[in-house]
Structures are given as C-alpha cells and as structure tokens.
C-alpha cells in the first residue's frame, strides 16, 4: 500500500507542477527500449514461487511540456512486448518442476519527472502511471522423469487448478513506477531504469466459484532506452 501511495504522490506532484506557471517546453523525443523482466504472479491462495525471467522491448515516445523550478515535467508513452509468467517452487517430494511464460503487449503511460542537466549531461528521473496490457500467448513447461512422474496431487493445500488452465482475462491493467538516470549527448539520450509493475486485474476469474481469488502479474524490470530529440 505504501508503494502505491508513493506512486500516486509522484503523479500528483507532476500534475500540480504543470498547473503552475513555469518555463514552457515543447520537446518531443522518440526511441527504442529493451531490458529484462523478473516476474511472478500474486496468487490467492498462495503458490510458492521463484522469479520467472523474460525479455522486454519496444518503442518510447516522450513529450516534455514544462520546467518548473528544477523539475522537468513530461508525459511518456511506450508500446512494449513483455515476457512474464511464474516459476513454481514445488517442495512436496514429487521432484516435479513447473513454470509458465506469458507474453503480453503492454502500454504504460507515465508522468515523467526529471531533474539535473536539461541539455548535455546527466539527469535523474522518476516515472509513474497506469499500464494496460493485452495477453498474446503462453507456454507451459512441466518437469518430471520416468522415476518421478508428474503428480500434482500432493501440492500444498491441493492447489493444482493452474496447471493447463488457459488465461481467461486477456486484458490487464495496473500501475507502474520506476527510477533511473539519463545521459544526454550530442548523438541522443541514453537512459537506464529500474521499474516495478503491480497488477490490479486478475488473469483468471475471481468469483467464489473460481479456484483463485487473485491472480495478478507483478514484474521487476531493468531496461535501457535510446531516445532521439525530433522537436526541441
């Protein structure tokens, strides 16, 4: 909850700054991004998991609107392909393993707050805002041997409905926030960022008749972005 309040506070700060009279900007930058995801799914009842690795990459558009005191306020939109999923830690004595990779098309829309060098040099920034995603496809990986066949019947609390269960809700939404730094040079802008996504929607139905009350994605992302100013 504290994390969510912090993200919304950052959005409010940038909106509030933009509502004041500052130094107007009209800068547009476009570029590409790529990085690495570490994902899990917040299940209820709980499923013990490790982090599922995956890749992400896409396109970035940023529109800088204003400088208010030392804050540089912008809106940032991305269109990304992202690999997510979960990796179960099965400790019921079966020696089974299970992981699932889920692929999404995601669109984060950020309030971007920067401070530091506006032209050449280093700038630090915070990104915060909503994110929506569209489920594309997935792949399951079952680990077992002849000596240790697949046997989910001894899972803790008999939680096994996730195996082979198709994703039911293709559209997801949540909030995301990140911290990073940007190096502005004569050949473009290079950013490095750590980001966290907290899903507010569930991939499976969550009624009393469904096996899970919650099944939402959470993702830690490290990414780099290259931007070119096309309007200054």
pLDDT at residue 38, as a whole number: 98
Q: Which residues contact 69 (CB under 8 A, 6 or more apart)?
A: 22
pLDDT at residue 68, as a whole number: 83
pLDDT at residue 118, as a whole number: 84
CATH class (in words) of the domain with range 2-195+206-231: mainly beta
pLDDT of 10 strictly over 60: no
Digit-coded pLDDT (tens) for 165-186: 999 999 999 999 999 999 999 9
pLDDT at residue 213, as a whole number: 97
232: confidence class by pLDDT, cuts 50, 70, 90: confident
Digit-coded pLDDT (tens) for 32-83: 999 999 999 999 999 999 999 999 999 999 999 988 888 999 999 999 999 9
Residue 35, classified by CB atoms within 10 Å of its CB into exposed (0-12), middle (13-18) or buried (19+), is buried
pLDDT at residue 15, as a whole number: 53
Digit-coded pLDDT (tens) for 157-170: 899 999 999 999 99
Q: Say whether pTM exceeds 0.85.
A: yes
pLDDT of 211 strictly over 80: yes
Q: Which residue from 220, 222, 229 is spatially nearest to 50, judged by alpha carbons?
A: 220
Give the pair of three-digit tokens for residue 161: 């409905």
pLDDT at residue 9, as a whole number: 57
Per mean pLDDT, which of 19-23, 66-70, 201-205 is the most reliable? 201-205
pLDDT at residue 18, as a whole number: 47
Q: Which residues contact 20 (CB under 8 A, 6 or more apart)?
A: 68
| Mean pLDDT within 126-144 | 98
| Mean pLDDT within 203-221 | 97
pLDDT at residue 25, as a whole number: 85
Distance CA 11, CA 126 (A): 10
> Can you give the residue ranges of every domain in the chain?
2-195+206-231
């Amino acid at each position: 909850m504290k994390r969510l309040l912090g993200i919304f506070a950052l959005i409010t700060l940038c909106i509030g700054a933009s509502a004041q009279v500052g130094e107007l900007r009209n800068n547009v930058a476009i570029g590409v991004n790529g990085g690495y995801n570490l994902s899990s799914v917040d299940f209820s009842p709980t499923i013990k998991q490790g982090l599922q690795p995956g890749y992400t990459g896409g396109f970035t558009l940023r529109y800088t609107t204003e400088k208010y005191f030392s804050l540089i306020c912008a809106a940032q939109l991305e269109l990304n392909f992202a690999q997510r999923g979960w990796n179960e830690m099965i400790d019921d004595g079966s020696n089974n393993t299970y992981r699932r990779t889920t692929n999404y098309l995601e669109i984060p829309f950020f309030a971007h707050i920067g401070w530091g060098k506006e032209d050449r040099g280093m700038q630090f920034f915070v990104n915060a805002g909503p994110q929506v995603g569209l489920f594309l496809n997935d792949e399951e990986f079952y680990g077992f041997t002849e000596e240790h066949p697949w046997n989910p019947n001894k899972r803790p609390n008999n939680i096994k409905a996730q195996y082979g269960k198709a994703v039911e809700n293709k559209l997801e939404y949540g909030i995301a926030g990140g911290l990073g730094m940007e190096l502005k040079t004569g050949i473009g802008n290079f950013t490095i960022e750590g980001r966290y996504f907290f899903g507010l929607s569930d991939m499976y139905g969550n009624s009393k008749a469904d096996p899970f009350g919650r099944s939402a994605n959470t993702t830690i992302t490290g990414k780099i972005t290259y931007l070119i100013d096309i309007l200054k």
